[in-house]
Structure 1
């Protein structure tokens, strides 16, 4: 690690605009690589931690944890409750219970960490090591001044504000509007033992639960590390445009109302998980433990130019905004940050538009394009609908393929060439060693999913003894 004095002796300068987890990770990485770094935010450190909601669940798997380790950063795998698999249930247009499978993560575990906690700890380390933190709004005009005086400028402000400096990549951006309305809320009151969600998996609370409804949307529960409450659970729901779920989600205006909406949703649609959901409670000390909104999936150019022509680099959501259904946003942003830091550390020359474009093209090839393709699979994109039907049905038949399918959330690259039913069959055969048609012929609709027998009152009485 670079000490404060060595950071101050640096002859190369960097600026990072935006102090979310991706921006502060890049700033800390560049500081440790010997740059003189200034991090800009329109909020001070306390406000960043306590006055805003977390930006999603930020579930991360092995590749992202490796990127953080390469930067010498805490991956939180020793502090957060761990995800060791994903349990999936799929219902048809009339609510018929069709497909169920339980995939295990092979050789890695996931962790979902409050982005406010992670950013806060990294900002503290950044300041302790000699980084500069400027609390001020950065307008396009101010960015022009910053970029003129800085060797490398990264913009990590997310989907708003300065993102318009980066043209949309029309070839990679396939949606004109958001594909889902989102609702998330973080709760306590539920443990992580084998008795939790035991009807879904023998792993119980170590597996997150994902339910898909053809006409309504998707609902997910998973272990989470909250900045105040510590080990907890997070709900994340996706409502299809025009659905009844979308109307329900729109009514949320507080953590309490969001929680009530989610519990009623499970009473009406997802009763197989209802006992666990009813045992949860909101986090009183954090009024920002919920969020609603919508994300248009967009891929932008990796380089933008200020009014005076200075090249600046897009980072994280500023570069690529993913629908969070496949968990690729936080993961890809951190991987992109690590790759940029590693390349900048050894670069001897200007950080011009050519250099920035080359780094971004490498990232898209190594991760970004595959992450977008897998996200489209889980969104039920019409182009991938038949492929998805084949793959999800096969997962219900073959446990090995179920684990490989949920493993795409960790490493999406192997799915990039799966763009036809024949390619999907080849994908299945490579993983299972079996004839894909024979596997698919063995599929039978679930008929009725197992229901939870979780007894919240029993667990409360045991905890009080």
Structure 2
């Protein structure tokens, strides 16, 4: 990929995985690029927690490959499916299914590792890296001097330059409290989580409690420990889980809270969870917090009227329940780089707005809707009930449902129970009513018989 004008300049604010990916892509496209961060490279790698699990599927890996970047599919343990268990408000065990990823595999990579390696490449290829806290005033002067300015500072700080899109941001507050911890002590072979799937440790495990929240375990590539596992939990506001999550203050306490959660609520996975061990060399291997899902404008203006573009979490902050944040940010970065590389005119408000509208149409809007589906948004509650019930009795549909995490676009048209039925029929080749008529509550989920000593022998 080559630029028609190699003297064009770009500034990227924020050196997380999305910001540094965009900076490296623009550099390779012929731009003179300066990347700003409020932390130096070592601190970015070792003094902060990873921003979630950043699970990526096929479309995102294609975007990274299009930029000539490592997709980590040869280095990280692979996700080849998702195993789901759903319990009702009285803890009745209702729905169990295992969806296989068809034609792709997921990888969850420590965002600190990816950003660090790409930052090294960026500097090695001639990119300029500046450690500086960029204020709105400083951004004004930077944007005045650059042809293109991207803001990828996440959900805080400079994100206020970009107006919230109320039509795409239905929530006034976070929908979940979050807790995550990365662990070792488990392998990835078929003996791990064998009660959930014949694929064992190649499938991630998702458990949903109607009145409490959700828990997820998945294979992970940690920056220091290498192949490992990550837990990510979501607690509904006012729930018992929320109280428990709030007490976490270290990796050890976070893992203790997770073990207690599985003893008291999700005992079918307990042996694996009891075998998990904290990563002692990384005190930042855990994180708690909350995210208000919000979509902002793609265009902002500095005090001096200079145009800047939002990128990644600055554009759209997704609840991580459907894994759309990192995926959308990287796809957005690749699309921006590809468009900028062949554009001869100014990177003005019109150009930036056109790129953002195209991104929302191609990915962002669908990712937003799928996230709301998995959050149990009341607008999609009845639709979700049909889709999850169909997945429990029809393996092909189970794969299609979990496939929405990879490619969410098919869900854009599912806006009614009738449309949900059409989706089921289209995927399965059967009448949706006949599929749903076969559904029976699970009754009791299969329990794990995992034995850590045998697995490690």
**TM-score in terms of structure 2 length:** 0.99
**1:410 CA displacement:** 0.1
Match of 1:359 in 2: 355
* Runs of at least 4 residues off by over 6 Å: none
What SS does the corresponding residue of 1:193 show, helix, strand or coil?
coil
Task: State yes or no: 1:278 paired with 2:274.
Answer: yes
Runs (5+) with no aligned partner, structure 1: none
Aligned 8 A contact 2:191 2:455 in 1: no
Task: State yes or no: 1:317 paired with 2:307.
Answer: no
Match of 2:122 in 1: 126
What SS does the corresponding residue of 2:167 show, helix, strand or coil?
coil
**1:456 CA displacement:** 1.1
CA distance in 2 between partners of 1:247 and 1:10 (Å): 55
Task: State yes or no: 1:210 paired with 2:206.
Answer: yes
Aligned 8 A contact 2:252 2:278 in 1: yes
What SS does the corresponding residue of 1:257 show, helix, strand or coil?
helix
2:176 to 180, 193, 196: 180
Match of 2:233 in 1: 237
Task: State yes or no: 1:412 paired with 2:382.
Answer: no
Instruction: Map 1:186-197; keep pairs closer than 5 Å.
Output: 186-197=182-193
Match of 1:73 in 2: 69
Match of 2:322 in 1: 326
Task: State yes or no: 1:295 paired with 2:296.
Answer: no
Runs (5+) with no aligned partner, structure 2: none
Task: State yes or no: 1:49 paired with 2:39.
Answer: no
Instruction: Map 1:63-102; keep pairs closer than 5 Å.
Output: 63-102=59-98
Q: Deviations over 1:39-92 (max 9, x none)?
A: 000000000000000000000000000000000000000000000000000000
CA distance in 2 between partners of 1:141 and 1:132 (Å): 21
CA distance in 2 between partners of 1:171 and 1:239 (Å): 25
Match of 2:395 in 1: 399
**1:10 CA displacement:** 3.1
Instruction: Map 1:419-434; keep pairs closer than 5 Å.
Output: 419-434=415-430
**1:459 CA displacement:** 2.5
Match of 2:27 in 1: 31
**1:457 CA displacement:** 2.3
CA distance in 2 between partners of 1:454 and 1:165 (Å): 51
CA distance in 2 between partners of 1:235 and 1:262 (Å): 8
CA distance in 2 between partners of 1:10 and 1:48 (Å): 30
1:168 to 159, 164, 169: 164
Match of 1:153 in 2: 149
Aligned 8 A contact 2:151 2:311 in 1: yes
Q: CA RMSD in A?
A: 1.1
Matched residue pairs, number? 457
**1:189 CA displacement:** 0.4
2:370 to 352, 368, 374: 374
Aligned 8 A contact 2:293 2:316 in 1: yes
Match of 2:381 in 1: 385
